[in-house]
Each structure stands twice: as structure tokens, then as C-alpha cells.
Chains A and B, each alone.
Chain A
Amino acid sequence: MEILGYITLSLFIGLMLLTLFGYIRTPVQTVLVLSTVLTLIIGAVFRYFDSGWNAVLLMPNEFLGGIILHPITALLTGLFLAGGLKASGGFEALKKMLNYLRRSPIGLVGTLVILINLPVIASLPCGRILAASLLPLLFTFGLEGGMGLLTKSQIIVLIGAFTRNAMGSCGPSPIGGVGQIGEGFLGSFFPTASEGILRAPQAFSLMLGTAVVALFLKFVSKRFYPDDVALRDVPPAWKAEGLREAVIEAPAKGYLALVIFVVSLLVSIFQPFGKMPVQTVLVGGALVMVVACRIRINDLLDGIILLPVTAMAAGFLAAGALAATGGFDALGVILNSLVRVPFLGIAGMLAIFVQFQTILPLSCSRILTAALVPVLYLFGPAKFGFLDWSQLAVVMAAYMINATTSCGPSPLGGGGMMGEGTMRAETGFIKGAYTFSSMAIMAPLAAIYMKFLNLSVFQPSNPDFVRDIVTIGEFTLVVAVANILFIAVMGRLAGTNASTNWFIQLVVFLAGGAIAGGILAFALFEQNFALITQGVAGGLIAAALIALMVPRTLSRRMTATLTGPEM
């Protein structure tokens, strides 16, 4: 049976790579379903000879178990709400309020900064809820959207950063977020872990990571892929005429819809009426909107876009088929065996493990997290004893933020594609930015935060708070400054030759990955030079794997893939 796991795993990864690099030219759903079917057929053959016909008949049940309904329904509710807001004029009301905010002391920039960080503040259990309902609003800031307030490049940064923030916000969510998988495990040693031991490190690194994504998009992505965003710029004449002050009329029911929207968000976050699913609350809100604002159910349904939903579901199917045939077990074994590679050792293996979900980004981070966190847990005192409990907590923090942000860069129906679609960019446009920030910023910072601040909160024995906070500040600044420098240099060096660009990017990724691996090893084992070197080695490998998957060019390949031969 074990060999089956390796076969299906290689099949899956092979198909994904072929799609990524444009050798298979079909929509991602089709590829994923194909992978599912192939995996199931191979699995069935093995099963038949191994344990008979009955076992084969049970396979559909097993692979259906791969479907995680929650993000799918969450996305649908988000789209529902967006439909409601749109139909009742809620977006107009929102624009008007943003106009007021713009004239307040925090100005347009401050407003946008808050807007970008809204997902992590709200921390809903799936980033797609807010993304689906607010991305149309962000789009309106540009020329195509009607307000014409921001230029093309600003819109790219705004939407990219917002989507990054949203597609990481499912991590720190206390109402069913991905991070709770890790918290549950840590609960066996830290008594209060399930109250949110991983939340602060994730939120902390996500906020900084978002900012770095914004910089990366501005300095690098735009230069690497200059022709791959189909937005138009505001003609200069417009600006001069001050068309930006276009009068926005918001009907009263728009404000009402907005209030309902905000209230239902608050109810779903704070759960004042007892625990209930977020979806129920939000759909309830949408129904109240229907009644109070007199919109038709049809308007709600109008907001629904099937494509992202089916892409995500296809990802789950493929993952379910892998799980049913032991593919994930094989993955766990492979990662585990990295410890024995001489120059990697435990620190190097962990540096790769922590980045693993960014190396292989799937449509929802829960797929791999559910399979790999138990493996990580076994590295701790529970089985192998490579790590003690606080080290496990540090690794878990780094792993978790990296994992939860992995649906962002995923071209297989990940959440980032919603952002790319909104900014009318080719698939893969944001991949470099998103993976770089997950790898080089978020993972090491989460580890540092966990090590120096959070552990002492959850295990109050450490008296030296001030020193710790200074350490965190130092590390944050160093990591931020180093990576911003990298990004700036990369932007400077970027030319018109895609291969050179790509090579520069590879070098920068390697540098970022090495630093990340080193910091992770330091957070785990402190000043142990040998282990830090191993961490650097692991970081290098992880970074190379990640950078190799960032597409060299987008237009030629993806346009051809997606828009068909008739052009």
C-alpha cells in the first residue's frame, strides 16, 4: 500500500507542475478532476488486489472526505453579501463614507491602510468572505470602477495587499481559523493554548507581510510582468478636471444595508447569541437585507460567481483522492526522512517543513495543514522528541502563518486568484510577491514573536519583558529592512529580459530564504552555530523550490492557456 502513496503523490505533483508551466492547457478544474479520477483508478486497482472489492466500493466515501465544506460555504456567503450590498446601493453608501474619511485627519492613505488590514482585524475563518464582498469596492477606486481616485499601479498594490491580508486572516481567526489546528495540539502542554496562543504571532507577521507584499508589487511584479494587468490608467486630463469628485448618490437603503452588513460581521465575530456558524449569521444578515432593503433574492444570487467555488472544490477532490490513497502519508514520511540528510539535520528539515505549504500551495491551506500538523506534533515530545514544547510552539507559529497564507499564491483555485481577477491580471501575477512575503517575512517573524513575547505570556515565568520586546523590535526591523533592500535592488535590476529577471528573483529568494531559515533556527536553538547553518541550508532549499515555481513570464503562456486558440 505504501508504494501507492508515492505513486499518487508523484502523479498529483507532476500534473500540477505541468499545468503551472503551461504544458497542460485546460482550466484548473479540469486538471484537478483528471488528477482525482486517475488517482482513484490507480488506487482502486491496488485496493482490489490488496483487500478486495468491498474496499474499492468504499473509496468514493473516503475521497469525498477531502471536501472541506466550510471555505466553500464561506465564499458563497461572502458573494451573497456582496450581491446584497450591490443591489441595495450599499457600495455607494460605503464610497460616500470613505469620502468623508478621506477628508478626516487620516486622509485617503490612512483609510486605505485600515481597509487593507481589515481582514486580519476582523479575522473571519475564511478570507474569502471579506474578499468576495469587498473586492468589488476596492475595484471602484480605479478608473474602470468609476471613482478614478487611484492610478493603475496604486490599484494593483491596493488589491494585491488587501487580498494578501485576507488570504492570511483565516489563520488567526478564533472562530474556526486554521491556526486552531495547531492550538489544539499545543493544548496538551500549554493549558490556555486553545484561547489563541498562535493568534498574536500570526496577526503580527501578517500585518508586516502585507506591507512587504505592497512593496514587492510596486517595485518588482509590475516590472517583471509589465503587460499582464489589463486595467487602464486614469487619463491625465481627467485628473486635471477633478473628475474624482464625481458625485456619488447613495440611497438610504444603502446605508441600511451597510449597517446590516457590519452588524452581521460583528455578530459572527463576537457571537453574542451563543456559538453558531459564521455562515448562518451572514446568510441571516443577507436575508434581513432582503427584507429591510427590499431587494430581490435574484440580486443576491446575482453576486454568486461559480468559478472560484468550483476551482476550490476541485482542489479538495484532488486532495481527497490523495488522502484516500495514502499520498499525504507518503509526504509525511518524505519530510520526516529529511532529518537524516547530513547537512540539513533537524534545523534544516524544519526550515523546509515550515515553508512546505508555500512550496506546494493548494486551493485551501486546510488540506495540507490537516495532514502535516500531526506530523509536526510528533516531532515534539509526544513521539520523536526532536523538540521540546516551547520549541514546538515556535515552529508551529512559523508553520501556521506560512500555511494559512498559502491559499493566496495558489494558482489552483486559491484565494489570490480572486485578487488577480479583480485587478484584471494574469494568473500568477501575484505569486512572486505572495510567496516571498510568506517565506522571508512572515515565517521568521512569527517564530521570533512566539519565542520572545508570546511564550512568556502563555507561560509566565520570564521576567525580562523589556529585553524581549526590544529583541522583537530589532528582529522585525532587521528582517523588514533586509527584505525591503532586496526588493528595491530587484526592482532596480529588473530589465526587459524575462530570463534575467527571473534569475535575479531566484537570487533574491535564496537570500531571503537563507535569512528566514537562519532566524528560524536561531529562534529554536539560540546561538548554536552548527544548527543555524543547517537552518540556512534548509532555507536555501525551500527558497529555491519556491522561486522555481514562480512563473518567468505570464502573458504568452497564460493568455494562450486561458483565452483559447482563436486569437
Chain B
Amino acid sequence: MLTWITFLFVGTLSGVLISWALDMSSPKELLQGALGGLIAGFLMAAMLPH
């Protein structure tokens, strides 16, 4: 459970940062980046041992 939370958190954070770095920093794009990061974090957490 906690692993899930931390990974969703870090995924979102990294998603926002990456979209900022990619020069895509309108609110909509940041949100999309966060969403992408959320998915990435979710997938990552799903791959880990529990």
C-alpha cells in the first residue's frame, strides 16, 4: 500500500518535472505530464515485490 502511494507520488512529481523540462509548461500540458507520470509510477509499483 505504502509502496503504491510513494510511487504514485514520485511518478507524478517526475512527470511534472519532465514536462517542464520539455518546454511544455502550460497548465494543461503539466497536467498531462503528471498523468503520464502517474501511470508510469503505477506500472512501476505493480512490477515491484510486495
Direct contact of A and B (CB under 8 A): yes
Give A contacts to B, CB under 8 Å. 105-114, 116-118, 120-121, 123, 150-151, 153-154, 157-158, 161, 174, 195-196, 199-200, 203-204, 207-208, 210-212, 214-215, 217-218, 449, 453, 457, 465, 468-469, 472-473, 476, 480, 484
Cα–Cα distance between A217 and B21 once the two chains are bound (Å): 8
Contact A214 B6 (CB under 8 A): no
Interface residues in B4-50 by Cβ distance below 8 A to A read 5-7, 9-11, 13-24, 28-30, 32-33, 35-37, 39-41, 43-44, 47-49
Q: Which residue of B lies closest to A480 (CB)?
A: B13
4 cross-chain pairs, A with B, having the tightest CB-CB distances, nearest first:
A110-B36, A113-B36, A214-B21, A211-B17
Measured between beta carbons, the chain A residues less than 8 angstroms from B14 are 113, 117, 207-208, 210-211
B6 touching A113, Cβ below 8 Å = no
A112 & B2 in contact (Cβ 8 Å cutoff): no
Report how far A108 CA is from B15 CA in the complex, Å.
12
Contact partner of B22 (CB less than 8 A), chosen from A112, A174, A199, A207, is A112
Contact B47 A123 (CB under 8 A): yes
Among B2, B15, B23, B49, point to the contact of A110 (Cβ < 8 A). B15
- By a CB distance below 8 angstroms, the chain B residues around A106 are 32, 35-36, 39
Q: Hey, which chain A residues are within 8 Å of B33, CB to CB? A: 109-110, 113
Q: Which of A153, A208, A218, A457 contacts B13 (CB 8 A)?
A: A208
Q: B37–A117 contact, CB under 8 A?
A: yes
- Interface size of B as a range: 35 or more
Report A-chain residues with C-beta under 8 Å of the C-beta of B15. 110, 113, 211
Contact for A473 among B9, B16, B41, B44, CB less than 8 A: B9
A397: min CB distance to chain B, Å: 14
Cα A113 to Cα B25 in complex, Å, equals: 13
CB B16 to nearest CB in A, in angstroms, measures: 8
Instruction: Show 13 residue pairs from A and B whose CB-CB distance is below 8 angstroms, ordered by the A residue.
Output: A106-B36, A106-B39, A108-B32, A109-B36, A112-B22, A118-B40, A150-B22, A196-B49, A207-B44, A211-B17, A469-B2, A469-B5, A484-B17
Chain B residues contacting A111 (CB-CB under 8 Å) are 36
Q: Are A154 and B41 in contact (CB under 8 A)?
A: no
A interface majority secondary structure: helix
Tell me the smallest distance from the CB of A453 to a CB of chain B, in Å: 6
Contact check, A121 vs B44: say whether CB atoms are below 8 A apart: yes
CA distance A185 to B7 in the complex (A): 26
Residues of A within 8 Å of B28, CB to CB, are 107
Asked if A210 meets B44 with Cβ closer than 8 Å, knowing A117-B37, A153-B23, A453-B3, the reply is no
List chain B residues, Cβ under 8 A from A473.
Answer: 6, 9
Q: Bound complex: CA of A373 vs CA of B18, how far in Å?
A: 33
B39–A110 touching, CB < 8 Å: yes
CB atoms of B36 and A114 under 8 A apart: yes
In the complex, what residue of chain B is closest to A203 when comparing beta carbons? B44
Cβ–Cβ contact B2 & A465, under 8 A? yes
B49 & A109 in contact (Cβ 8 Å cutoff): no
Alpha-carbon distance A117/B10, docked complex (angstroms)? 12
Contact: A109 with B10, CB < 8 Å? no
Give Cα A469–Cα B7 distance, bound, in whole angstroms.
Answer: 11
Contact of B44 with A112 in the complex, beta carbons under 8 Å:
no
List residues of chain B with CB within 8 A of the CB of A196.
48-49
Contact status B49-A195, CB under 8 Å: yes
B32 adjacent to A204 (CB under 8 Å): no
Closest to B30 in A: A109
**A106-B36, A110-B39, A204-B6 known; A161 vs B21 contact (CB < 8 Å):** yes
Instruction: Kindly list chain B residues whose C-beta atoms are within 8 Å of the C-beta of A465.
Output: 2
A43 to B39 alpha-carbon distance, docked (Å): 53
A105, A113, A157 — which one has the most chain B CB atoms within 10 A of its CB? Answer: A113
Q: Complex: how many Å from CA A27 to CA B47? A: 40
Identify which of B14, B20, B28 gathers the most chain A CB atoms within 10 Å of its CB: B14
The reply to whether B2 and A109 contact each other, CB–CB distance below 8 Å, is no
Taking a contact as CB atoms under 8 Å apart, the answer to whether B32 and A109 are in contact is yes
Q: Once bound together, how far apart are the Cα atoms of A116 and B39, in whole Å?
A: 12
Nearest CB of chain B from residue A65's CB, rounded to whole Å: 32
- Complex contacts, B2 vs chain A, CB 8 Å: 453, 457, 465, 468-469
Partner of B21, one of A117, A204, A211: A211
Report chain A residues within 8 Å CB of B11. 117, 207
Nearest Cβ on chain B to A452's Cβ, whole angstroms: 10
Q: Chain B nearest CB: distance from A182 CB in Å? A: 15
Known: A157-B22, A207-B44, A217-B21. 15 other contacts (CB 8 A): A106-B35, A107-B29, A109-B22, A120-B44, A154-B22, A154-B23, A157-B23, A161-B18, A196-B49, A199-B49, A207-B40, A207-B41, A214-B21, A476-B10, A480-B13
Contact B48 A199 (CB under 8 A): yes
The residue on A at minimum CB distance from B25 is A109
* Residues in chain B near residue A116, CB distance under 8 A: 18
CB distance from B18 to the nearest CB of A (A): 5
**Chain B residues, Cβ within 8 Å of A214:** 17-18, 21-22
Interchain CB contact under 8 A, B10 and A110:
no
Check B48–A203 contact: CB distance below 8 A.
yes
